[in-house]
């Protein structure tokens, strides 16, 4: 008797246990028949077992039509039974819940359970790759909270604030800035800022973009403060202001500028 198959199985098990995500195998009864180490750690709690549990007990929102043997063809699977990553709430064996992203694929013998000519054998399995999103969802929620706080601060600020991308196009404008410039905030989004409000000097002569504080900030990353800068409103009226431009960075990369 050759020992190669057992060595091969052990090698495969080691590879599956080394995966960063949970791997779960489900049979045609919707029962978990195998799982890698990550999945066991993800779902199992002391004194309980993952293998033998019903899939829908662990993933209540999972589409049961994807389980082998279903007579209903799932709408969200491709021809090979694979699905796109889907977020849902998972349930541990003790009932505790946590957010996950699930991808599934059918491991069939070439015949589909819902194909009347397929000769379904009941031996097919469903493989699920489960990614724990606990940290990711927490981070996304924190970012969303920070964004809401930033928006509220900008709306409440009496000082005008305008943000641009590296091309000098408006990506952010608060109500105070829109009021100063005589524009609605929606009119400014995506437009080049310089031609709108800085195209002319105080005497009406053209003001080249290359000579502006905004252009230098976007090019060099330097911060500038300009006293007595004249901005031009939508109606062509002059508005003298003290203006500051500062770079916006994402790590070491310059991604835009903010003008106040």
Residue 40 inside a domain? The answer is: yes
Residue 208, domain CATH: 3.30.450.20
Residue 145 inside a domain? The answer is: no
Sheet of 22-26, strands arranged across:
32-35, 22-26, 125-132, 97-107, 86-91
* Gap between the Cα atoms of 1 and 79, Å rounded: 39
107 and 185 both lie in a single domain: no
Helix or strand run (H / E) with residue 196: helix 193-197
Residue 140 inside a domain? The answer is: no
Domain around 254: 158-259
Per-residue confidence (pLDDT) for residue 119, from 0 to 100: 44
Residue 141 inside a domain? The answer is: no
pTM of the complete model: 0.50
Per-residue confidence (pLDDT) for residue 107, from 0 to 100: 79
Per-residue confidence (pLDDT) for residue 210, from 0 to 100: 93
| Averaged pLDDT in 10-residue chunks for the chain of 260 residues | 52 75 91 92 89 94 83 57 84 92 77 41 79 77 64 65 89 85 83 90 90 92 90 89 88 86
45 and 88 both lie in a single domain: yes
DSSP 206: B
Q: What is the DSSP string of 81-150?
A: S-B--EEEEEE-TTS-EEEEEEEEEEE-SS--TT-TTS---S--EEEEEEEE-HHHHHHHHHHHHHHHHH
Residue 67 inside a domain? The answer is: yes
Per-residue confidence (pLDDT) for residue 150, from 0 to 100: 61
The residue among 68, 101, 134 that closes a domain is 134
User: Sign of the CA dihedral 69, 75, 80, 82?
Assistant: negative
177 and 61 both lie in a single domain: no
Residue 146 inside a domain? The answer is: no
Residue 13 inside a domain? The answer is: yes
Per-residue confidence (pLDDT) for residue 24, from 0 to 100: 92
Structure tokens at 31: 């029962």
Per-residue confidence (pLDDT) for residue 117, from 0 to 100: 38
């Amino acid at each position: 008797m050759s020992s190669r198959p057992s060595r091969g199985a052990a090698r495969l098990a080691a590879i599956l246990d080394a995966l960063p995500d949970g791997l779960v195998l489900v049979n045609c009864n919707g029962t978990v028949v195998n799982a890698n180490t990550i999945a066991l750690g993800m779902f199992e709690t002391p004194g309980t077992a993952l293998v033998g549990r019903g899939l829908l007990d662990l993933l209540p929102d999972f589409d049961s039509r994807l389980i082998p043997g279903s007579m209903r063809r799932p709408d969200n699977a491709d021809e090979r039974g694979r699905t796109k990553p889907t977020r849902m709430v998972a349930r541990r064996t003790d009932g505790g819940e946590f957010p996950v992203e699930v991808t599934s694929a059918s491991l069939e013998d070439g015949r589909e359970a819902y194909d009347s000519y397929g000769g379904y054998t009941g031996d097919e399995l469903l493989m699920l790759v489960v990614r724990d999103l606990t940290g990711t969802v927490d981070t996304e929620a924190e970012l969303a909270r920070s964004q809401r706080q930033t928006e509220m601060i900008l709306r409440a600020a009496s000082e005008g604030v305008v943000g641009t991308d590296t091309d000098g196009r408006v990506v952010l404008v608060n109500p105070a800035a829109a009021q100063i410039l005589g524009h609605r905030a929606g009119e400014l989004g995506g437009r080049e800022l310089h031609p709108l409000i800085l195209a002319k000097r105080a005497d009406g002569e053209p003001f080249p973009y290359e000579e502006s504080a905004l252009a230098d900030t976007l090019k060099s990353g330097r911060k500038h403060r300009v006293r007595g800068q004249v901005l031009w409103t939508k109606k062509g009226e002059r508005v003298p202001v003290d203006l500051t431009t500062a770079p916006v960075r994402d790590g070491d990369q310059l991604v835009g500028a903010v003008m106040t």
